[in-house]
Amino acid sequence: MKSLSTLILLLVVALGASAQIDTSSYAKERQEIRQLLRSQGPGTNLDCTDMIAVGPKGDISFTRQQWIEAQKKEKLVFKSVSPVPGNEFIRIYDGTTAVVNLLINVNIVVNGSDLNIKVRRLEVYHKTSGNWCRVAGQGTQVDEALFPVSTNNKP
């Protein structure tokens, strides 16, 4: 009985290990996502029409247009957005879905005042008809006084 239980346990563990999803392959898709991340800027549209975004106050937008309107309401203008090298972590699922965690430098104007902040973003992209678009995104401002940012992270 003991050997049967051990055998069953080993089979379950082996089956679980073989069922792991490969998220580290897809070199071409990873490069496409990296290129998208590096090409972000004011006026750049990476968003799908049905994207979901969470704003800095926790407000949620269910379309790109709602997201733009929320920015206008808060008198928020993005001047520049750039990824911090070494802080882009990309997982590709089935070649059509990407989950991205990245650190970005953001220069924004809020109600007439310039701000330079670092933001940790979690974004989800979907590839349809050969093109990637963002379907979801949410960011958290990084307080570097409390949590200094290291650029030596490894994926």
pLDDT per residue as tens digits for the range 72-125:
887 888 888 889 988 999 999 999 999 999 999 999 888 888 989 999 999 999
More confident residue, 138 or 152: 138
pLDDT interval class at 9 (50, 70, 90)? low
The mean pLDDT of the chain is 82
What pLDDT shows up at residue 12?
A: 54
The yes-or-no verdict on residue 7 having pLDDT over 50 is no
CATH number for 61: 3.10.450.50
Mean local confidence (pLDDT), 131-152: 82
Domain-embedded: residue 109? yes
Tokens of 111: 């109600």
Domain-embedded: residue 150? no
Domain-embedded: residue 110? yes
Range of the domain at 42: 22-141
What is the C-alpha to C-alpha distance for residues 32 and 24, in angstroms, rounded to an integer? 14
Domain-embedded: residue 155? no
Domain-embedded: residue 1? no
- The dihedrals phi and psi of 53, each to the nearest 5 degrees, come to -130, 145
The tally of domains found in the chain comes to 1
What is the C-alpha to C-alpha distance for residues 121 and 83, in angstroms, rounded to an integer? 10
Render pLDDT for 40-55 as a digit per residue (tens, 0 to 9).
766 778 888 889 998 8
Q: What is the largest CA-CA distance in the chain?
A: 74
Domain-embedded: residue 115? yes
Domain-embedded: residue 35? yes
Q: Which of 71, 70, 74, 62 is nearest to 42 (CA)?
A: 71
Domain-embedded: residue 7? no
